[in-house]
Amino acid sequence: MKPLFALLAMMMLHLHLHAQIDTNLKEIEIIAVKSTVKNNSDKLIYNVATSITATGTDALNALSKIPGIKIGDAAIGIAGKGNVRVMINDQIVQLSGIELTRYLKTIPAGQISRIELIKNPGANYDAEGNAGLINIITKKSNQQGYQVNIQTSGKKWLHNPAKVYNTRGYQAGNLAGDISYNSSRLSARAGINFDRSHLLEGFRTELSYPQQAWMQSDTGDYKYRNLSYEAGLDYKLSSKASIGVNYMGGKNTYEGFDHVYNTFTSPGSSKPDSSIRTLASYYPVSRINSINLHSVVNFDTSGRKLLLNADYFNHYRTDVSNFDSKSYRPDGSANPGGNTRFYDTNKQNINIYTFKADAILPTSFAQFAFGGKLSFIDNYSNAFYYNKNPQNELVFNPGLSSEFDYNENTQSLYASMNIDRNEWKYKVGLRTELTQTKGYSPILKQNTSNNYFKFFPSLSVNYQPNIDHNLAFNFGRRINRPTFWNLNPYKSLYTAYSYGQGNPYLQPEYNSNFEVSHSYKNILSSSLFFNMTDNGFSNVILADAGTNIVYTTPLNFIKTYRYGISENLSIPLTSWLDNNNQVTLSYTHAKSKMANIKDVKGFGLYLASNNNIYLNEQKTLAAAVNFWYQFPEVDHISRTDRYYKLDLGMKASAFKKKVDLALTVNDVFLSSAPAITTTVNSIKQKFTNFQLNRFALLSISYRFGNSSAKSGDKTTGNAEERGRL
């Protein structure tokens, strides 16, 4: 808690001096607070600055507060519609799964202006993202002078660890700061963020064989440290041209211990026939470096301009792991020779180069936009496994070890046209992408390659007969490429009896989205939607009843149809209540191309209500009550049980809103983690996350200098590629 006291002392000293200077000044204060949620026909906007429950958290936690956004272990999605990709300042982040969530945790929510959910991205956007795109817009000062923001927070998890694994002390701390400076020609900024955390994660997997029940319980005790930093500089060469550079970097380390317990039980028996206990330790270290060069050239005052971007991104990750598995008899005695021990080292090194150009040409008939992008990706990864003998000597295991070198080059062109004719607005676009991929595994002596050329059309039609009503139709075709890990054929060992393996032959999946929507006075928004996914892929758990070995691998085998209706209602009952409510009813039919996996279909219902309650006229004291409930639904080839979440928060602003103090409680009922059931080869599989998401967070932020900030124009060109790590 020392950073909290240090920040408080510095803050009080500065405010005292500021008050002495301003004693004789009088000012007229206009009290206005942006709504936290604004739902337009083309996008939903979430204002992070006014979100009480996101105060003092990070980008991942802020995303989880948006109505309709669902955060999973492997993807981020929209209720009833499927998965989306994440952008930062208009550029796709080339990370996915756990790497994406870890990256988003390094971005303080205090550095975010707003988050946009783009429902039907136009041709100027990368074609990634099945159900749309999430765009995280960071803050950027627009006033001359300087602005400083300092934030610190402390988090305490409120689950009961003794019920899961007998360790305690699960808490986290954060200290972040940023500074910006603007003059008539120069704009500069820098920020730093430090996190330290001790957390608990866990899940249980159950497989029901005809002659035996298999259960695996995995509880992870993790210590996490992160240091991230960013800097940017923009300079106006003239009234028509500017150049700039952005840099982002960071290092995060984990120290993890997984306690895995496997049991094998015959039908009708209350005691296991045998069991396996595994202790797995691992120490991953990840480093990220990213640099962007950009320039804007305005040809005249009509809006004709050229935007240029050049990017380099590097993600370097190393890991050292140990596995020690011991098998036991029904009476609990150790099995002679039942000890399996492994040691492994692995590395991933990803380099991404992108070059992007966009031209905007307004005319009296329409606004035209043209552009292109070149992307070059080189991904090298390895995993070297060794057996440990009783003398702790290491013996190389070529059957588990792997090296993989993957290269992907993409060339894309697009054109779009915006037409505005009184009540009618049209936006038509076409994007083309040509992709070449090559994969090579030296140990397996395996070569794979794939070349494809695809079109991605988009269309938006808006009709607004008066100021109160807006009717819209949207269509778009999109692509979801496999992550780099999914393409890697190496085996990732979980225990002696379970592992995951990538698939170098995995193909992209393609999604077509249709939506008709109507909005009334920004109060009520209604939409009917349909989307279809071709060549869909998903992780499949395959089990061998004879050996009890279970492995997970991604396969292309699904065609999915989703139909639904969504209602979004903001009720302007009173000035002291900022309220947004959402209901989404959907029907999903997932058709399997594999004989051993049956089709799955069913309804799903999602409810959400976000409420900011202002407790004084100045709106400097507020409370938040946010709740969502997901009824059972179909997701890919699986069914999820019901799960829900309640978040509570209080926030106070003082000293002319230079200081914010917030207290929030996340997942009050310990109920936000889903249980997922799948049937493969007539074997029922159930995956259950432990309910470990409840925590209390106390945060304080202090800012001085110029008081207003606007959304950033910090664009880069390689965020699509960064989203697939």
Cα–Cα distance for residue pair 434/449, rounded to 1 Å? 14
What phi and psi, each to the nearest 5 degrees, are found at residue 14?
Answer: -65, -40
Strands 498-501 and 549-569: parallel
Q: pLDDT value at position 97? A: 76
Across 36-45, 84-93, 271-280, which has the greatest mean pLDDT? 271-280
Cα–Cα distance for residue pair 613/725, rounded to 1 Å? 40
**Chain mean pLDDT for the chain:** 88
**Taking residues 145-161, what's their average pLDDT?**
89
Cα–Cα distance for residue pair 172/153, rounded to 1 Å? 8
What is the percentage of the chain residues whose pLDDT exceeds 70?
91
Q: pLDDT value at position 5? A: 43
Q: What is the 3-state secondary structure (H, E, C) of 651-676?
A: EEEECCCCEEEEEEEECCCCCCCCEE
Identify the band that residue 592 occupies on the pLDDT scale cut at 50, 70 and 90.
very high
Cα–Cα distance for residue pair 582/579, rounded to 1 Å? 10
User: Are 559 and 591 spatial neighbours (Cβ–Cβ below 8 Å)?
Assistant: yes
Three-state DSSP at 314 gives strand
User: Are 699 and 653 spatial neighbours (Cβ–Cβ below 8 Å)?
Assistant: no
In this predicted model, what pLDDT tens digit does every residue of 326-344 receive, in sequence order?
999 988 888 887 888 999 9
Identify the band that residue 660 occupies on the pLDDT scale cut at 50, 70 and 90.
very high
Local structure of residue 89 (DSSP, 8 states)? T
Give the chain's end-to-end CA distance (angstroms, integer).
35
For residue 628, CA distances in Å to 665, 677, 690 come to 15, 21, 19
Q: Please choose, from the candidates 130, 133, 134, 122, the residue with its C-alpha nearest in 3D space to the C-alpha of residue 511.
A: 130
**Taking residues 214-234, what's their average pLDDT?**
92
Q: Please choose, from the candidates 205, 216, 204, the residue with its C-alpha nearest in 3D space to the C-alpha of residue 275.
A: 216
Which residues, at least 6 apart from 214, have a Cβ–Cβ distance to it below 8 Å?
206, 207, 208, 262, 263, 264, 543, 548, 550
Which residues, at least 6 apart from 511, have a Cβ–Cβ distance to it below 8 Å?
82, 130, 131, 477, 478, 479, 480, 531, 532, 533, 534
Q: Please choose, from the candidates 331, 249, 233, the residue with its C-alpha nearest in 3D space to the C-alpha of residue 290.
A: 249
Q: pLDDT value at position 139? A: 82
Identify the band that residue 33 occupies on the pLDDT scale cut at 50, 70 and 90.
low
**Taking residues 188-195, what's their average pLDDT?**
94
Specify the pTM: 0.89
Amino acid at site 335 = N
**Taking residues 152-175, what's their average pLDDT?**
81
In this predicted model, what pLDDT tens digit does every residue of 560-587 receive, in sequence order?
999 999 999 998 888 899 999 999 999 9
Give the DSSP letter string of 53-79: TTTTSBHHHHHHTSTTEEE-SS-EEET
Cα–Cα distance for residue pair 412/92, rounded to 1 Å? 15
**Taking residues 217-236, what's their average pLDDT?**
93
Identify the band that residue 157 occupies on the pLDDT scale cut at 50, 70 and 90.
very high
Q: pLDDT value at position 485? A: 83
Query: Which two three-digit tokens encode residue 327?
Result: 């098998």
User: Are 446 and 440 spatial neighbours (Cβ–Cβ below 8 Å)?
Assistant: yes
Give the DSSP letter string of 592-641: ESSTTS--EEEEEEEEEEEEEEE-STTS-EEEEEEEEEE-SEEETTEEE-
Domains of the chain: 2-722 (2.40.170.20)
Q: pLDDT value at position 23? A: 42
What phi and psi, each to the nearest 5 degrees, are found at residue 28?
Answer: -95, 120
Three-state DSSP at 215 gives strand
Give the total residue count for the chain: 725
Cα–Cα distance for residue pair 469/485, rounded to 1 Å? 46
What phi and psi, each to the nearest 5 degrees, are found at residue 146?
Answer: -120, 160
User: Which residues pair with residue 552 across a beta bridge?
Assistant: 500, 541
**Taking residues 145-174, what's their average pLDDT?**
83
Which residues, at least 6 apart from 78, have a Cβ–Cβ distance to it below 8 Å?
68, 69, 70, 84, 117, 131, 132
The dihedral through the CA atoms of 245, 720, 141, 15 has a sign that is negative
In this predicted model, what pLDDT tens digit does every residue of 537-554 receive, in sequence order?
999 988 776 676 788 999
How wide is the angle at C-alpha 651 spanned by C-alphas 646 and 656, nearest 5°? Answer: 160
Residue recorded with tokens 């993202």: 129
Q: pLDDT value at position 723? A: 53
Greater pLDDT, 12 or 504? 504
CA atoms within 13 A on the CB side of 57: 24
From the number of C-beta atoms within 10 Å of its C-beta (0-12, 13-18, 19+), residue 322 rates as: middle
Residue recorded with tokens 């700061």: 177
Residue 452: count of CB within 10 angstroms of its CB: 13
Chain center to CA of 672: 17
Q: pLDDT value at position 707? A: 52
Give the DSSP letter string of 345-390: EEEEEEEEEEEEEEEEEE-SS-EEEEEEEEEEEEEEEEEEEEEE-T
Is the confidence at residue 590, as pLDDT, over 80?
Answer: yes
Which residues, at least 6 apart from 405, have a Cβ–Cβ distance to it below 8 Å?
378, 379, 380, 439, 440, 441, 442
Greater pLDDT, 657 or 411? 411
Is the confidence at residue 718, as pLDDT, over 90?
Answer: no
In this predicted model, what pLDDT tens digit does every residue of 615-658 receive, in sequence order?
999 999 999 999 999 999 998 889 999 999 999 999 999 998 89
Is the confidence at residue 349, as pLDDT, over 90?
Answer: yes
**Taking residues 262-286, what's their average pLDDT?**
90
Q: pLDDT value at position 720? A: 58
Q: pLDDT value at position 72? A: 77
Residue 448: count of CB within 10 angstroms of its CB: 17
